[in-house]
Structures are given as C-alpha cells and as structure tokens.
Amino acid sequence: MSMAAEQRDVRDDALHGLQLAARLESIWRTPPGLTGALMSVDHKVIGRRYIVTAFTFLVLGGLLAILMRIQLSGAENRLLSPDLYNQVFTMHGSTMMFLFAVPVMEAFAVYLVPLMVGTRNIAFPRLNAFSYWMFLFGGCFLWISFLFNVGPDVGWFAYTPLSSLQFNPSKRADVWAQMITFTEVAALAVAVEIIVTVFKQRAPGMTLDRIPLFVWSMLVTAFLVMFAMPSIMVASTTLILDRLVSTRFYDPSSGGNVLLWQHLFWFFGHPEVYIIFIPATGMVSMILATFARRPVIGYPVIVLSLIATGFLSFGLWVHHMFVTGLPHLAAGLFTASSMLIAVPSGLQIFCWIATLWDGRPVYRTPLLFVLGFIVIFVIGGLSGVMVASVPIDTQVHDTYFVVAHFHYVLIGGAVFPLVGAVYYWFPKICGRMLSERLGRWNFWLAFFGFNIAFFPMHILGLMGMPRRVYTYTLEMGWERLNLLSSVGAVMFALSFAVLLANAIYSLRKGTPANDNPWDASTLEWATASPPPPQNFDRIPIVTHREPLWADGDTLPVVAGLSAERREVLLTSLAEAEPQIREASPEPSIWPLLTAIATTIFFIGSIFTPWAVLWGTPPMAITLIGWFWPTGSKEDEE
C-alpha cells in the first residue's frame, strides 16, 4: 500500500447519498465475468446459489417420491425393480434430509441473517463460499453415482450390518457415507459463520432481547448443528473405515457392535429434525408479526422455548430404538423426554395463536402457508406424542404410520413455512412480488394434496403396511388407500410446479417491489430490494425490537466506517456496543480450489486409502493460498 493511499483514508461520513452508495458498491461488488462469479464471497450471491441448488435437489427428491407413489398406486406394479426401489427410497430420504432440508434453511440464513442484524457480509465469507462448493460437489457426487447405478440402497440411516461390506459389497454404501461427510462439512461451516455473525456483527444497539426471532432460531440451530453433526461424522467415518480398511467397529465377531451405529446415527438424527424445524419456526414468527400487523406475543417465551427445544432435542435419540430391546428404565426415560419436548413447541404455538387473535390478520399467501403449517404440524405433533409411547411405537414401528407421522412433522413443520418464506422474502431477494393469484392456487393445491397424500398412510400403517416394500399383493386390501395417496402426491407435486411457474413468471413480469412491500418491521426491509452489494450504505442503529415500526421514516445510523476497503463493524456480545472496525475478506478463487482439492481427497479415499496420503498436500497448499495475505488493503491494516 502506498503512502498516498494511506493518507487518503476516506470514511463514509465524508460522502453522501448516491456518491457514497456508488463508492461502497464498487468496493463490495462481485467481480464481473465467470471468474468473478467463481470468486464471489458476497453472502447474498452465495445465499441465492444455495437456495436455488437446494430447491433443485427438492425437485429431484420429489421426482423420486412420485416414482415411488406410481409404483405403489396399485398392487404388484412392475415399474421399479426391487433393487431400484431400494435405491430410490434411499436417494429420496438422503436427498431430502441432507441436500434439501438442512441446506435450504441454512441457505435462507446465509442470505437473511446478515441483513437482519444490519451488517455488510457474513462472518468468514470465504468459508461461506467453500461451504457452498462442498455442498454442491457432495450433492452432485451422490446424484451422479445414482445415475451410474451406484446410488446408495441402504436407507437414509444406513444401518449396520446391512451397510457393512459383507452385505453391501459394491460402492453404494461408501457413496452414502462420503456424501454425508461433504454435507456435514458444509453445514458445520455455515453454523460457525452464523454464530459469529450473530455474536459479533449485530448493528449497534441490537441487544440480545432485540434480535429478530428468525435470527434467534438460526442461532439455536447453528448450535444444534455444532453439537449434533460431529456424531454423524464419527459414524460415517467409522462405517467407511470398516468398509475400506477393515476396522471392526460394527463387526460383532471382533468385539464390534451394530447398535453403536444406531446410537451414533440417532444422536445426530434426532437433533437433525429440530435443525430443520427450528428455523421454520423462526420464519413463522417473522411472517406472523408482519401479517398480523403486531409484534409476536411472548417474545421471551418463544426465545426460551427455542433454547429449551435445542437442549431437549439431544435427549430423545433412543426413541428411534425402542424395538432394539432396551432396558425398561431407559425406555421410560426416553418416553418421558419425548413427551416433554412437546411442551416448548406447544408454548410457541400458543404464542402464535395469541398473536393472530390479537392482530388484524391480512390473509396474503405467506400467512396462508403459516396457517397451513399450524394445522398440519399440530396433527404431526399429536401422532408424535403417540409414537413416543413404547407400546404404540412397538406396534407401528416400521409401518406407514411412522411415514405419515414424520412427513406431517417435516413437511408441515418445515416445508409449509419455507414456501411461505419464499413468498415473503422473494421481493427482497429478487425485487419483484410473486403473483398472489398463483400463490393461492399454490397453497390450496399443496394443502389438499399433502393431506390426501399422507393422511391415508396413518390408516395404511395401522392396517399393517410396512415401510420400504417395493410392492404388495392385492389380498392385503391396501390398494385403494394407496391409490388415493398417490393422487394426493401428484397434486402436491403440482403445487410445486405452480410455485416454479410463479417464480419464473414473476421474475419477468411481477410487480416491482419497493424497499418494504409488506410494511414489515425488521432491518432487511430497510434497504433496497434486492439489496446492493454493501447491504446498507450506513450501518443502522437499533433502538427497538421492531426497528422499522418504531423509528417512523428516519433510520438512525452510524458513520465513520471506511469507504476505501471492505470493513464491517464488530460489536459486543450482549449489548452490541461498537468495538472494532474489522476488515472483511475480498473475493477469492481459493475457496473453490480448496473445495476441489477436498473433493478429490474425499472421493479418492473411497477407492484407495492412499488418497489420504496424496490427497493431503493439495488441500494444504490450497488452504495456505486461501489464508496467505495478498498485500491488499484488507490484509495489511
């Protein structure tokens, strides 16, 4: 850096209006062209890619679901062979859980959290870019393997010994295990970014009790990811070690134990459900406040419920293992804890109902999806309390009753709020409103389609229809309900076609959105739609929990940040008092190169253990390239 530049340290208080905006934009924008796109570290660019990629996987996973529903619509169908059916239901579950549900929630957080807390970029933007590439490569790896008939076929939980080498001698289970590693690396990276963004980059004055509820929900989720995902990393690593270098973790003849797998898997797998559900509750709270036209009732109750749910979610994993022959005391304890977790969820639902009751609801599409969520999720919650009891669980275990239950919880609890969130934040992200008319079609198709598809499964389960069977005989008497379910599934799929059509249409022809089209209260609506690369020309100051409703037409802001280089304001953890003007990283190609090196390492290690040896130096080199200072203004302060 030359002396002249050092002296010319322009701050944002020396500039105003368009001049300031243009200057910040030139500093923060993603470089043009393909290389620029590959180097981007803008949380909005990466968040958008993350969202689009996750929805692409939703479509792929959904197509598999339709294939299964066609197969099951009549007795003794021959569309899918048993072997292909095993791959299809495994791919469906794995795709939906690891490539859609968790990533899409994190994707919305990557886009929205920095805007909601009033900062210019997410913490560790290059890690964010790396996370996206890992997610993309892991997802493509799984799907390309499937197209080459090496798709995993051992269920999304890959129980040993079914997934052990002895019973699964092809590469299929290895593909599953390594896909897990990819997506967990990506998810853990985002969790760390969210935690640090929320802890350190909140706008001045955004004390703990002024954090928007979606941000609270993502903070709790990030902690769940942090403490749950290491378990599945250990699980998938030990599985692949058993398969590749003959370790004996799951080999009973050498002291191994197959139930160890179930413990490791479900210690992750149960919090996983809340990793998907808690962000959705955050979305619900945000949408409700805006469309009930009043702040959500019981802010402290909701925050404490989120935290309580987070803690409790680590104490229920064994309820997935009731039929494995547990001691009675353990079964009793885990039944109690499974019922206990209904309490904080119930508290939140009462807060939402009270908010609606006391508000003046405006029934736009986002609110419709929230109402649909409440109905469906409550049904799913009730069947959840049922299967929390050991005798009922023993009866319906591995039947379609459980399939019905968890689709009510996951689709009702997460996908409905998510589609509501798409309608709600689409104008912020894309600058245009989605069509309300198509939105209503979308909602009613989804609501009826979903219930027609999944409600009959409760009954089928009680009639004894087991999960994961590729067909059934006519004498079982399951045909009519299965056909009904399949019709519902097609309706439900159509609702997503409507959503897609709505998005494509509205991107071109939708009503242009102003900064705050819904007259909402949180900071993401205080900037342009879509936001400029710097997010805010000046960092806002927060004096109230609903800043845009409290401050009227004028936003209080801070000044004094650099207009020379990328700089974010760090504030204190509890009180959000300004502490440091910290440099924020420039675009870089190294995260992509690191992700490519890591991909070679991960995929190579499936085929030869030596990949661990020759795969490490490229990773080390790319990481050093990533962190080595480039002599730019950012690095040399």
Partner 1 sequence: MKQTIVRRVGELPTFGFGPQSGPWWGAMSFMALEGMGFAIAIGAYLYLYAVNPTWPIGASPPDLWPGTAETIIFLLSIIPNQYANRAAHQQDRHKVRVWLVVMSLIGIVLLILRGFEFAHLNTRWDNSAYGSVVWLILGLHTTHLATDLGDTIVLAVLMFTSHARPRRFSDVTDNVFYWNFVVIAWLPLYVLLDWVPRL
Does position 258 interact with partner 1 (CB under 8 A)? The reply is no
Buried b (16+ CB within 10 A) or exposed e, 388-401: bbbeebeebbebbb
Residue 14 vs 385, nearer CB to partner 1? 14
Does position 257 interact with partner 1 (CB under 8 A)? The reply is yes
Does position 7 interact with partner 1 (CB under 8 A)? The reply is no
| Structure tokens belonging to residue 124 | 């560790």
How many Å apart are CA 215 and CA 605, to the nearest integer? 38
Q: Is-contact 3 529, C-beta < 8 A?
A: no
Positions in 164-193 near partner 1 (CB under 8 A): 188, 191-192
Q: How far is the CB of 329 from partner 1 (least distance, A)?
A: 16
User: For partner 1, which stretch binds (CB under 8 A), given 395-403, 444-452, 481-489, 628-636?
Assistant: 628-636
Stated as kind and residue range, the H or E segment containing 569 is: strand 567-571
Q: Is-contact 560 548, C-beta < 8 A?
A: no
How many Å apart are CA 153 and CA 156, to the nearest integer? 8
Strand partners, 399: 466
Does position 260 interact with partner 1 (CB under 8 A)? The reply is yes
Does position 327 interact with partner 1 (CB under 8 A)? The reply is no
Residue 356: closest CA among 335, 370, 375, 337: 370
Number of residues that bind partner 1 (CB under 8 A): 72
Of the candidates 140, 557, 600, 611, which one interacts with partner 1 according to CB under 8 A? Answer: 557
User: If phi over 0 gives left and psi between -120 and 50 gives alpha, with beta otherwise, what is residue 255?
Assistant: left
Positions in 508-547 near partner 1 (CB under 8 A): 515, 526, 537-538, 541
User: For partner 1, which stretch binds (CB under 8 A), given 38-46, 341-349, 595-603, 623-631?
Assistant: 623-631
Residue 77 vs 257, nearer CB to partner 1? 257
> What secondary structure letter does DSSP report for 545?
S
User: For partner 1, which stretch binds (CB under 8 A), given 59-67, 168-176, 261-269, 452-460?
Assistant: 261-269
Q: How far is the CB of 226 from partner 1 (least distance, A)?
A: 5
Residue 195 vs 589, nearer CB to partner 1? 195
Q: According to the 3-state scheme, what is the secondary structure of 281-320?
A: HHHHHHHHHHHHCCCCCCHHHHHHHHHHHHHHHHHCHHHH
How many Å apart are CA 95 and CA 62, to the nearest integer? 9
Of the candidates 200, 202, 397, 407, which one interacts with partner 1 according to CB under 8 A? Answer: 200
Q: How far is the CB of 430 from partner 1 (least distance, A)?
A: 20
Does position 244 interact with partner 1 (CB under 8 A)? The reply is no
Q: How far is the CB of 268 from partner 1 (least distance, A)?
A: 9
Does position 475 interact with partner 1 (CB under 8 A)? The reply is no
User: For partner 1, which stretch binds (CB under 8 A), given 64-72, 106-114, 359-367, 559-567?
Assistant: 559-567
Does position 627 interact with partner 1 (CB under 8 A)? The reply is yes
Helix 172-200 × helix 213-245 angle, to 10°? 150
Q: Is-contact 316 270, C-beta < 8 A?
A: yes
Of the candidates 421, 570, 592, 597, which one interacts with partner 1 according to CB under 8 A? Answer: 570
User: For partner 1, which stretch binds (CB under 8 A), given 273-281, 418-426, 435-443, 581-589?
Assistant: 581-589
Does position 554 interact with partner 1 (CB under 8 A)? The reply is yes
Of the candidates 476, 497, 573, 613, which one interacts with partner 1 according to CB under 8 A? Answer: 573
How many Å apart are CA 511 and CA 500, to the nearest integer? 17
Q: Show the CA angle centred on residue 109, arms to residues 104 and 113, nearest 5°.
A: 165
Name residue 536's amino acid: F
Q: What is the CA radius of gyration of the chain?
A: 25
Positions in 92-131 near partner 1 (CB under 8 A): 123-124
Positions in 603-622 near partner 1 (CB under 8 A): 620
Q: How far is the CB of 554 from partner 1 (least distance, A)?
A: 5
Residue 479 vs 515, nearer CB to partner 1? 515
Residue 235 vs 491, nearer CB to partner 1? 235
Tokens 């099951």 belong to 72
Q: How far is the CB of 499 from partner 1 (least distance, A)?
A: 31
Of the candidates 118, 204, 449, 456, which one interacts with partner 1 according to CB under 8 A? Answer: 204
DSSP string computed for 176-205: HHHHHHHHHHHHHHHHHHHHHHHHH-PPTT
Buried b (16+ CB within 10 A) or exposed e, 569-588: bbbeeeebebeeeebbbbbb
How many Å apart are CA 105 and CA 54, to the nearest integer? 9
Positions in 279-298 near partner 1 (CB under 8 A): none
Of the candidates 82, 579, 610, 614, which one interacts with partner 1 according to CB under 8 A? Answer: 579
Of the candidates 22, 559, 574, 613, which one interacts with partner 1 according to CB under 8 A? Answer: 559
Q: Is-contact 562 581, C-beta < 8 A?
A: yes
Positions in 59-78 near partner 1 (CB under 8 A): none
* Residue 227 backbone phi and psi in degrees, to 5: -100, -15
Of the candidates 230, 431, 477, 604, which one interacts with partner 1 according to CB under 8 A? Answer: 230
Of the candidates 53, 221, 238, 588, which one interacts with partner 1 according to CB under 8 A? Answer: 238
- Other CB atoms within 10 Å distance of the CB of residue 605: 20
Q: Is-contact 142 97, C-beta < 8 A?
A: no
Q: Binding mask 13-32 vs partner 1 (x if CB under 8 A, - otherwise)?
A: x-------------------
Residue 375 vs 557, nearer CB to partner 1? 557
